[in-house]
């Protein structure tokens, strides 16, 4: 017997309720269908490349030291896997929901930064890591970057009364919100991360539509600040030396210029095609310090040559390009600023990182996103990419 009174759609909706996870994933309306695949592939390629480079930087040394030659590779792949999960979560939860929790995220990051000052581990003179047991260390400043991007986007993205740009109060509030973590990170001290945050805040404010006066003002304050820092000797001499050594790399090749000099030798000796994975003599001889982390790009330069390292730069470029596209087509100002914050972060950090290895930027301890070995950086970067996907999936087509 047929019950015609039953709406036609009823069986369909019943069916829909019982839809399998697989079918839901393939559904036309599914967020997965609306993923930015180019971005995803670029990031995946960067992670793969990074894993190879970390492997190349560590395998020969570990072999010589009698440790598991693949130890770093395994941990790096594990970091990627964990990062993917974190990134997926960041992508799937609607970013507008995240916005609601912004104060929580912000306060949590502040808590982390305070905790690191109390219980932190000192590595290379910086008090930036918290030992969480099991051989894992967390670097709260990496996550603070996300919190600040989310926070700044929220403060500047909610315009009152249909205004074109955030008003003065929002901007001052943003500065205030940023200054607390900046001061905490300066205390570590981690000048590199502070510079990243500064650039991110600058970028987000600039894109939010404020008048040009604000932009010029910020640039002026930054320059004045730099002058004051130099003249009041707020930095230690070694920090200044290292920072300025790139301007004259031959000045002290055994001291402050050593890293950059060796890095450039590694990259330059790679030539067109490089020496091949595990065959870089500079790398194998550990001439370049911090090679699986901050100077990981030198492995690409030496072992994969101009072709490999150029590809790496282009992949970073693709990620940034896609990030800006996502910002441009975001549903709302909040999404746009979120994406811009992430692009500024990646862009500044990647340029600074690669720039210091090729000798056109001063040396600071910043990792290359997705490539450098290190859990916190990988997780934070993955979450950031997740946020980009999040904005993309929920934007107008």
CB of 365 to other proteins, least distance (A): 5
Using only the alpha carbons of the chain, give its radius of gyration: 23
Which residue's CB is nearer to other proteins, number 3 or number 164? 164
CB of 168 to other proteins, least distance (A): 16
CB of 24 to other proteins, least distance (A): 32
Question: Contact at 8 Å (CB) between 93 and 394?
Answer: no
Question: Which alpha helices (DSSP H) does 249-359 contain, by range?
Answer: 258-268, 281-284, 297-328, 333-357
**Gap between the Cα atoms of 77 and 302, Å rounded:** 22
DSSP category for residue 34: G
Question: Contact at 8 Å (CB) between 171 and 156?
Answer: yes
CB of 8 to other proteins, least distance (A): 41
Which residue's CB is nearer to other proteins, number 175 or number 321? 321
Which residue's CB is nearer to other proteins, number 41 or number 238? 238
Which residue's CB is nearer to other proteins, number 25 or number 328? 328
CB of 337 to other proteins, least distance (A): 9
Which residue's CB is nearer to other proteins, number 106 or number 345? 345
Which residue's CB is nearer to other proteins, number 99 or number 264? 264
End-to-end CA distance of the chain: 44
Using DSSP bridges, classify how beta strands 126-133 and 120-123 pair: parallel, antiparallel or unpaired: antiparallel
Which residue's CB is nearer to other proteins, number 198 or number 355? 355
Question: Which alpha helices (DSSP H) does the chain contain, by range?
Answer: 9-17, 21-26, 37-65, 71-92, 95-100, 102-119, 140-157, 168-186, 191-207, 212-231, 237-244, 258-268, 281-284, 297-328, 333-357, 375-393
Would you state the torsion angle of the CA atoms of residues 383, 387, 393, 395, taken in this order, to the nearest 10 degrees? -170
Which residue's CB is nearer to other proteins, number 111 or number 234? 234
Q: For residue 313, give both structure tokens.
A: 């730069």
**Cis check: omega of the bond before 189, within 30 degrees of 0:** yes
**Gap between the Cα atoms of 299 and 314, Å rounded:** 16
CB of 42 to other proteins, least distance (A): 13
């Amino acid at each position: 017997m047929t019950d015609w009174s039953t709406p036609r759609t009823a069986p369909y909706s019943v069916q829909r309720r019982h839809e399998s996870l697989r079918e839901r994933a393939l559904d036309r309306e599914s967020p997965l269908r609306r993923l930015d695949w180019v971005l995803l592939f670029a990031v995946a390629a960067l992670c793969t490349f990074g894993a190879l480079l970390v492997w190349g930087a560590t395998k020969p040394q570990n072999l010589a030291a009698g440790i598991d030659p693949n130890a770093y590779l395994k941990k790096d792949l594990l970091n990627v896997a964990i990062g993917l999960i974190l990134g997926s979560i960041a992508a799937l939860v609607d970013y507008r929901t995240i916005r609601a929790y912004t104060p929580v995220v912000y306060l949590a990051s502040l808590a982390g930064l305070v905790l690191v000052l109390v219980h932190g581990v000192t590595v290379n003179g910086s008090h930036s890591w918290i030992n969480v047991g099991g051989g894992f260390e967390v670097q709260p400043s990496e996550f603070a970057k996300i919190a600040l991007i989310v926070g700044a986007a929220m403060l500047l993205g909610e315009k009152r009364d249909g205004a074109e740009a955030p008003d003065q109060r929002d901007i001052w509030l943003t500065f205030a919100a940023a200054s607390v973590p900046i001061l905490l990170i300066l205390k570590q001290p981690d000048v590199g991360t502070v510079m990243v945050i500064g650039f991110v805040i600058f970028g987000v404010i600039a894109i939010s539509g404020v008048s040009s006066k604000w932009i010029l003002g910020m640039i002026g304050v930054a320059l004045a600040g730099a002058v004051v820092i130099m003249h009041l000797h707020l930095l230690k001499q070694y920090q200044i030396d290292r920072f300025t050594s790139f301007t004259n790399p031959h000045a002290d090749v055994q001291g402050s210029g050593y890293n950059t000099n060796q890095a450039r030798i590694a990259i330059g000796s790679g030539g067109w095609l490089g020496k091949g994975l595990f065959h870089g003599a500079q790398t194998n001889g550990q001439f370049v310090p911090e090679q699986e982390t901050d100077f990981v790009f030198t492995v690409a330069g030496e072992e994969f040559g101009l072709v490999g390292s150029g590809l790496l730069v282009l992949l970073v470029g693709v990620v940034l390009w896609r990030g800006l596209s996502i910002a441009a087509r975001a549903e709302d100002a909040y999404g746009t600023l979120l994406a811009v914050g992430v692009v500024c972060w990646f862009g500044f950090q990647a340029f600074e990182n690669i720039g210091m290895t090729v000798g056109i930027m001063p040396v600071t301890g910043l990792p290359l996103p997705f490539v450098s070995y290190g859990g916190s950086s990988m997780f934070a970067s993955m979450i950031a990419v997740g946020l980009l996907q999040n904005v993309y999936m929920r934007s107008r087509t």
